[in-house]
Amino acid sequence: MAKKVFVGMSGGVDSSLTAALLLEQGYDVTGIYMKNWILDLPGWHCPWREDLADARAVADKLGIKLEIFDFQNQYKQKVVDYLLDGYKQGITPNPDIMCNQEIKFKLFLETALESGADMIATGHYARTKNGKLLMAADSDKDQTYFLARVTSKALEKTLFPIGEFASKKQVREEAKKRGLVTANKKDSVGICFVGKVGIKEFLSVFVDSEPGPIIDQHGKVIGNHEGAIFYTIGQRQGLGVGGGLPYYVVGKSMEKNEVYVTSDVTDKELWTDELKLESVHWISSLSPKDLSDDFMIRTRHRAPLIKGKLSESNGKWSVKLAKEIRAATPGQSAVIYSGEACLGSGIITT
C-alpha cells in the first residue's frame, strides 16, 4: 500500500513540483494549503486567495485532493507575536525560522499525522536522510538556514524532493514539462507573511513609536529617527542622515529611544569574532560536545560559511569565529554545519 503524503502546497512552483514528483514516485498524495496569514497591510495586498487558486489549479491538474488547514490563530501566536515581541525588546528575530519550527514542521506535521498521513513534504531546498538535515544540491537556493530548528523526529517524517535539483531553472523546466500553471510564477519575497511591504511599514501597524536622536561614535546627535524599534544592527539604508560618509547602526536603547551609529567601517562596535548564543537547538542527539572538529557557521541566509569553534559552560554556548564578521545581529540565528550536514542553531545575543 502506497505511503500517504500530505504536501504543503503554497501556490508556488517549488511545492507544485514537489506534489507532482511524489505522485510520479508512487506516493498517495494530498495537497494541503496552510492558511496562515490573510490580512492586507498598508501598501500591500496579501495574495492568499491567488495562491490558493494556483494550488487548486495544480491539484486539479495532478488529479489530487487539496485541503485547507486553517492555522491563523496559532500562526499569530507563534510567529507574528514572536516577531513583534522581539522588535519591542530591541532585537531582530527571524520569523521564517520560527514558522518552520512551530508551524510547518510541528503543527502541520502533527495535524497531518492525526489526519491519516504517513509523512509530509514541502518545497524547501534541502535534503534529509535518517533524520539528518543536509544542504540542498543547489547551494545558491539552499534553505537549511531556515530549517535549523526543526527536530530529527520531524525530519524522519519529511520529504524534500526539490532539494536534489541542481538549480531553480531546472525546477521551472520540470514544472513546465508537466504543464503546471505555476512554472513561471515569481518567487515570493520578503518576510514570510509581510511580503513586499517593508518591516517598518509592518511594525507601524502593530506598535507605537516616537522619534528620537541618532547619535554618532563621538556622542554627537546627527539626526532624528522615527522610532528605535525600526532599526537593526548593521543597517545602513533609511537613516535619513545626509552628506559625508555612510553611517551604520551599531546599537540602540529602547529605554532611551536612541539609535547609535558610526561612520567608521573599522569601528570595533561593528565587528566581532565571538558570538554568544541562547536557545541552542540540536537537530539530533549529536552535539559539538561529542566532536573535536571545527564547525562552519552561517549568521545570515546565504552569508559565507565561516570556520568556528564552539564551547559550552553551564549551559551557555559561545562561538569563536576564524575571522571577524560585520554586524552580528542579536535575535538572528547562527546556524552550525559539519560538512553538508546542518547540526542546529542558536539565537545570537551579542
- Report pLDDT digits (tens) over 276-335: 999 999 998 765 555 556 799 999 999 999 999 998 888 889 999 999 999 899 999 999
The one-character DSSP state at 63 is T
**pLDDT tier, 342 (very low <50, low <70, confident <90, very high otherwise):** very high
Q: What is the pLDDT of residues 101-136, one digit of tens each?
A: 999 999 999 999 999 999 999 999 999 999 999 999
**Beta bridge pairs of residue 258:** 253
| Cell numbers 546627535: residue | 221
pLDDT confidence of residue 46: 85
Q: Is the pLDDT of residue 238 over 90?
A: no
Structural domains of the chain ordered from first start: 4-177 (3.40.50.620), 209-262 (2.30.30.280), 271-348 (2.40.30.10)
342 catalytically annotated: no
pLDDT confidence of residue 233: 93
4 neighbors 116 (Cβ within 8 angstroms)? yes
What are the strands, taking DSSP E only, across the chain?
4-8, 28-35, 65-70, 119-121, 127-129, 132-134, 158-159, 212-215, 221-225, 248-253, 258-262, 271-282, 295-298, 306-313, 316-326, 333-338, 341-348
Query: Nine-digit cell at 338?
Result: 559539519
192 catalytically annotated: yes
Active-site annotation holder among 21, 80, 155, 192: 192
Active-site annotation holder among 64, 84, 99, 191: 99
